[in-house]
């Protein structure tokens, strides 16, 4: 029986081995392989099962005391979200063996999450710690899923198909650094989370519990957390524990398909997002840069392979394979093929794609992110949304069952492109510093670095704080009380506080704070200036040069 994985034909290796001489082993090159567990002929676990009680039965019967809730953001002298368990074999560069250069942090949106230094976005004195004189009253956690397999039919799978086709037709000889291609197999799945990706989200949930668990004391009902995928499921397991998470929150799964409104996947109803010259402009801009930076790479690697015409698309695919294989399999032979400069160029390739399609340089970006911003203001003001002219789903947000307005902890799970769009819609203008981005060279002074903005497991957190002592000029270490009236808001992106000076009325503050009334008014002004109908559905062209930096279509 033959099967397909990611659109590629899968031939059982045993069948191939029985018919192909050992000296022609290169015919396996690029062949996709897959594995299923539990095996197809095994009956999956079902509950209840009298022989095998579920996890809820582990330990002593009935509730047991667990101690007080953690609040590390108020009690620790310093805090950084430590990187999750990391099974990845750290790659080297081909030109600087043993250097301190971290290849893993140059994979753009394919990089596993890492904690950003305090000054990443221009606030070196700020940290996730609750500022002196403030109490934490509420958090809004927006996070991306963890590491996953590539999208079906994407560049890595296409490269594997090319290698397999050549191996089975003309054949090829690979030597030196490319010798592994002769027996390389494509072992990646499609779309779903890798084991590392599941671990990332579990760790993120644990981290959130340690940081914000004290806010559970303010709940009067079961939380409602939203997702379009399994992102919240893994997060909740870490936050509540595997024995309790299924009964500790309501998981609202928003439909991610064309024709359905959802702020967690707004691209489905933004028509212009699918227009190559508008929403797809990032692909064009990134390809322009790839045609520049891959020239010496193609020349160098082509010396080690015959009958294979390497292209810029192939080089990018090979670099993507390094990232995808690493987060899925723990190691990739593709990683060591490239120099430090080539990895910096690859990251810039990703940055360009996001900048012009999902970042400050894209014309539909603010429109796609504005729905979530409307929901944020609805939650902050405890006022229902009444104008439905964006990606907001009127059925969901009109009900207190599916969209409660009063929760100490809000959690929403989405995607890399959506979170970057929301950051633009929030007018976090420090991220646009150094743009627009050129396609013939790397913009060294850019603030838009996708491995900082939207890596696997990225999290963008709004802390709502009560800071009467700060307002009065008194430095008082927070006690962990959550009873104060909200006075300030700030945003933290992967542990680095983001300035709010792009929001109308918000001024410079070393802790990134903005008065909550000022923030709400300024953010509402931002909502009012974004025209979803025109940017997403209007008929327009983007002039050259594209100098957009606010995520809105040119007028």
CA atoms within 13 A on the CB side of 85: 10
d(CA 431, CA 499): 9
pLDDT digits (tens, 9 = 90+) for 154-179: 999 999 999 999 999 999 999 999 99
The yes-or-no verdict on residue 14 having pLDDT over 50 is no
- Listed in sequence order, the residues at least 6 apart from 67 whose beta carbon sits closer than 8 Å to its beta carbon are none
Name the pTM for this structure.
0.87
Backbone angles phi, psi at 544, to 5 degrees: -105, 135
Closest-CA residue to 325 (of 115, 159, 99, 454): 159
Q: Predicted confidence band at 81 (pLDDT cuts at 50, 70, 90)?
A: low
Residue matched to tokens 């596993």: 112
Q: What is the pLDDT of residue 482?
A: 43
The yes-or-no verdict on residue 40 having pLDDT over 60 is yes
d(CA 374, CA 391): 10
Q: What is the pLDDT of residue 33?
A: 76
**CATH 3.40.50 matches 118-148+213-253+363-534:** yes
Please, what is the average pLDDT of the chain? Answer: 87
- Listed in sequence order, the residues at least 6 apart from 146 whose beta carbon sits closer than 8 Å to its beta carbon are 112, 113, 193, 194, 196, 197, 198, 199, 200, 201, 204, 231, 234, 456, 457
Q: What is the pLDDT of residue 327?
A: 94
- Listed in sequence order, the residues at least 6 apart from 456 whose beta carbon sits closer than 8 Å to its beta carbon are 109, 110, 111, 112, 113, 144, 145, 146, 147, 148, 197, 200, 327
Q: What is the pLDDT of residue 201?
A: 95
List the alpha helices (DSSP H) in 51-168: 72-75, 155-167
d(CA 379, CA 408): 10
DSSP state of 115: P
């Amino acid at each position: 029986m033959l099967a397909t994985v990611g659109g590629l034909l899968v031939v059982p290796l045993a069948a191939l081995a029985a018919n192909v001489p050992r000296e022609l082993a290169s015919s396996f090159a690029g062949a996709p392989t897959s594995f299923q567990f539990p095996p197809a002929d095994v009956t999956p676990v079902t509950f209840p099962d009298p022989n095998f009680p579920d996890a809820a039965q582990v330990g002593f019967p009935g509730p047991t005391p667990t101690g007080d809730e953690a609040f590390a953001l108020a009690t620790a002298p310093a805090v950084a979200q430590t990187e999750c368990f990391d099974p990845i074999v750290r790659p080297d560069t081909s030109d600087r063996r043993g250097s301190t250069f971290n290849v893993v942090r140059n994979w753009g949106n394919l990089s596993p999450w890492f904690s950003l230094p305090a000054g990443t976005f221009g606030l070196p004195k700020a940290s996730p710690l609750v500022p002196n004189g403030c109490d934490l009253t509420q958090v809004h956690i927006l996070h991306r899923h963890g590491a996953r397999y590539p999208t079906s039919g994407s560049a890595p799978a296409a490269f594997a198909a090319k290698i397999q086709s050549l191996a089975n037709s003309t054949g090829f000889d690979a030597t030196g650094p490319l010798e592994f291609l002769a027996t390389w197999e494509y072992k990646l799945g499609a779309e779903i989370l890798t084991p590392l990706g599941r671990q990332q989200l579990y760790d993120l949930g644990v981290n959130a519990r340690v940081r914000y668990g004290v806010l559970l004391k303010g709940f009067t009902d079961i939380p409602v957390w939203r997702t379009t995928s399994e992102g919240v499921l893994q997060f909740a397991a870490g936050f509540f524990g595997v024995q309790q998470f299924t009964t500790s929150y309501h998981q609202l799964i928003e439909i991610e398909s064309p024709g359905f409104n959802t702020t967690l996947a707004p691209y489905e109803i933004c028509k212009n997002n699918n227009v190559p010259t508008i929403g797809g402009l990032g692909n064009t801009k990134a390809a322009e840069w790839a045609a520049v930076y891959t020239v010496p790479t193609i020349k160098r690697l082509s010396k080690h392979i015959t009958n294979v015409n390497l292209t810029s698309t192939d080089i990018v695919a090979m670099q993507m394979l390094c990232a995808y294989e690493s987060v899925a399999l723990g190691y990739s032979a593709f990683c060591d093929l490239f120099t430090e400069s080539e990895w910096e160029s690859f990251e810039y390739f990703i940055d360009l794609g996001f900048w012009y399609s999902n970042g400050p340089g894209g014309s539909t970006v603010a429109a796609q992110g504005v729905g979530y911003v409307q929901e944020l203001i609805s939650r902050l003001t405890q006022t229902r949304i009444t104008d439905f002219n964006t990606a907001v789903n009127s059925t969901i947000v009109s009900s207190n069952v599916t969209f409660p307005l009063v929760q100490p902890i809000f959690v929403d799970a989405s995607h890399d492109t959506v979170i970057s769009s929301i950051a633009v819609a929030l007018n976090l203008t420090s991220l646009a510093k150094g743009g627009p981005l050129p396609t013939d060279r790397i913009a060294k002074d850019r603030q838009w670095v996708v491995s900082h903005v939207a890596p696997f497991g990225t999290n963008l957190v709004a802390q709502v704080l009560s800071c009467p002592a700060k307002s009065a000029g008194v430095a008082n270490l927070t006690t962990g009380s959550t009873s104060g009236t909200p006075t300030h808001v700030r945003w933290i992106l992967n542990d680095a506080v983001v300035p709010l000076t792009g929001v109308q009325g918000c001024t410079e503050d070393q802790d990134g704070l903005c008065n909550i009334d000022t923030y709400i008014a300024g953010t509402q002004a931002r909502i009012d200036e974004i025209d979803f109908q025109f940017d997403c559905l209007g008929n327009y062209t983007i002039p050259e040069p594209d100098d957009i930096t606010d995520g809105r279509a040119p007028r």
